[in-house]
C-alpha cells in the first residue's frame, strides 16, 4: 500500500509538471519555439555534459544562474548585441548586424569565413563563436560583465548554427526560408516552421522533458560529433540540412513532413548541445 501511494505521488508530480510545461510552452513559446524551447533544450543538453569545473566557473560569471536561463538572451536583446560585420561593397558602407546565421557554398557546404565569392560580406555566427571563444580563453583583461555577455552569445549562436533554416547556401538558396508554405492545411513561414514546430510538434513539452528524451547518444558518438572546429561543425550542419531546402515558396506539405524530418531536427538539437558543451569545457576547464 505504501508503495502504491509513493507511485501515485510520483505519477501525479510528473503529470502536473508536464501539464504546466505544455501550457507554458503553448502560451509563451508558440511562435518562438526553436528560439526558446529549442535553445533551452540545447543549453540543457550542454549543461548536462559540462565538467564540474566548467559548470562551477560559468556559474560564477552568471551570478549562480544556469546557461539555460540565458539560452535566448541574444534574441531577447538582439538590438543591443549587433556587431560591426565589416565593409559591404554593394552598399558602400560598414554593416552593423545581428549575426545569427551563416553562409555556405552550395556545392562544397564549406562555410564562408569572411566574404563570399562575389566579395559580399557574410553574416557569420560561426566567426563570432570562434572570436568569443578565443577572447574567453584569454579573459584576464575582461570584466565579469564582458565575460558573461560572451558566454550568453556563444550559448545562443551555437544553437543558431545548427538550425536548418539559419543557413544560406550560396548561390542556390539564400532565403533562409523567408516565404510561406502550407502544412497540414495551415499556412506558415517556412523559417518559422523550422524554428519551432519541427521540434514541438513531436515533443509538446518543456525543455527538461525534451532533453531527457533525445539526449541518448553514446560517449563514442558524442566524441565523434564534437571533433574538429566550429567551421567543421558548420559544414556538417550545412550538409545535413541541405535536403530540406528543396521546399519552395507556396509548396503544400503533408503532415508526414514532420515525421520525415524528425530525426534531422532531433540530431541537430543534440549536436548543438554536445558541441556547445565542448566549447565551454575547452574554455573553462
List, for residues 118-158, the tens digit of each pLDDT value: 776 777 899 999 999 999 999 999 999 999 999 999 999 99
Give every CB contact of residue 52 below 8 A, 6+ residues apart in sequence: none
Q: Which pLDDT score, from 0 to 100, does residue 9 have?
A: 39
Three-class HEC string of the chain: CHHHHHHHHHHHHHHHHHHHHHHHHHHHHCCCCHHHHHHHHHHHHHHHCCCHHHHHHHHHHCCCCCHHHHCCHHHHCHHHCCEEEEEECCCCEEEEECCCCEEEECCCCCECCCECCCCCECCCHHHHHHHHHHHHHCHHHCCHHHHHHHHHHHHHHHHHCCCHHHEEEECCECCCCCCEEEECCEEEEHHHHHHHHHHHCCCCCCHHHHHHHHCCCCHHHHHHHCCCCHHHHHHHHHHHHHHHHHCCCCCEECCHHHHHCHHHHHHHHHHHHHHHHHHHHHHHC
Average pLDDT, the chain: 88
Q: Which pLDDT score, from 0 to 100, does residue 97 have?
A: 86
Q: CA–CA separation, 4 vs 138, rounded Å?
A: 56
> Rounded to the nearest 5°, which phi and psi values hold at 105?
-70, 130
Q: Which pLDDT score, from 0 to 100, does residue 34 have?
A: 57
Q: Which pLDDT score, from 0 to 100, does residue 33 have?
A: 36
Average pLDDT for residues 204-215, to the nearest whole number? 95
pLDDT tier at 35, thresholds 50, 70, 90: low
Q: Which pLDDT score, from 0 to 100, does residue 95 have?
A: 83
Average pLDDT for residues 96-118, to the nearest whole number? 88
Give every CB contact of residue 171 below 8 A, 6+ residues apart in sequence: 106
Average pLDDT for residues 66-77, to the nearest whole number? 95
Average pLDDT for residues 22-28, to the nearest whole number? 40
Rounded to 5°, the CA angle 62-130-283 comes to: 45
> Rounded to the nearest 5°, which phi and psi values hold at 202?
-90, -30
Q: Which pLDDT score, from 0 to 100, does residue 196 have?
A: 87
Q: Which pLDDT score, from 0 to 100, does residue 262 have?
A: 96
Q: CA-CA distances (angstroms) from residue 156 to 71, 246, 252?
A: 6, 27, 31
Contact, 215 vs 52, CB < 8 A?
Answer: no
Q: CA–CA separation, 120 vs 115, rounded Å?
A: 5
Please tell me the pTM assigned to this model: 0.86
Q: Which pLDDT score, from 0 to 100, does residue 114 have?
A: 75
Taken in order of first residue, the domains within the chain and their CATH numbers are 31-284 (1.10.575.10)
Q: pLDDT for 179-206, tens place per residue?
A: 999 999 999 999 999 998 999 988 988 9
Does the pLDDT at position 4 exceed 70?
no
Rounded to 5°, the CA angle 61-67-71 comes to: 125
Q: Which pLDDT score, from 0 to 100, does residue 31 have?
A: 39
Residues forming beta bridges with residue 100, ordered by sequence position: none
> Rounded to the nearest 5°, which phi and psi values hold at 30?
-60, -30
Amino acid at each position: 500500500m505504501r508503495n502504491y501511494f509513493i507511485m501515485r505521488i510520483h505519477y501525479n508530480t510528473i503529470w502536473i509538471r508536464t501539464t504546466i510545461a505544455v501550457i507554458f510552452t503553448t502560451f509563451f513559446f508558440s511562435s518562438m519555439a526553436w528560439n526558446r524551447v529549442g535553445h533551452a533544450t540545447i543549453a540543457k543538453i550542454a549543461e548536462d555534459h559540462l565538467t564540474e569545473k566548467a559548470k562551477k566557473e560559468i556559474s560564477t560569471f552568471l551570478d549562480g544562474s544556469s546557461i539555460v536561463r540565458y539560452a535566448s538572451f541574444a534574441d531577447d536583446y538582439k538590438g543591443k548585441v549587433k556587431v560591426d560585420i565589416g565593409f559591404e561593397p554593394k552598399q558602400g558602407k560598414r554593416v552593423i548586424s545581428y549575426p545569427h546565421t551563416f553562409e555556405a557554398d552550395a556545392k562544397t557546404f564549406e562555410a564562408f569565413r569572411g566574404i563570399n565569392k562575389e566579395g559580399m560580406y557574410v553574416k557569420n555566427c560561426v566567426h563570432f563563436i570562434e572570436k568569443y571563444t578565443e577572447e574567453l580563453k584569454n579573459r584576464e583583461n575582461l570584466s565579469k560583465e564582458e565575460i558573461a555577455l560572451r558566454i550568453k552569445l556563444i550559448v545562443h549562436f551555437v544553437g543558431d548554427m545548427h538550425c536548418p533554416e539559419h543557413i544560406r547556401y550560396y548561390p542556390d538558396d539564400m532565403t533562409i526560408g523567408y516565404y510561406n508554405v502550407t502544412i497540414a492545411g495551415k499556412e506558415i513561414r517556412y523559417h518559422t516552421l523550422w524554428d519551432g514546430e519541427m521540434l514541438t510538434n513531436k515533443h509538446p513539452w518543456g525543455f527538461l522533458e525534451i532533453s531527457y528524451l533525445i539526449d541518448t547518444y553514446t560517449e563514442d558518438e558524442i566524441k565523434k560529433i564534437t571533433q574538429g572546429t566550429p567551421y567543421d561543425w558548420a559544414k556538417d550542419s550545412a550538409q545535413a540540412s541541405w535536403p530540406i531546402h528543396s521546399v519552395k515558396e507556396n509548396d503544400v506539405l503533408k503532415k508526414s513532413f514532420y515525421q520525415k524530418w524528425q530525426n534531422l531536427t532531433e540530431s541537430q538539437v543534440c549536436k548543438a548541445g554536445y558541441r556547445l558543451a565542448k566549447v565551454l569545457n575547452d574554455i573553462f576547464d
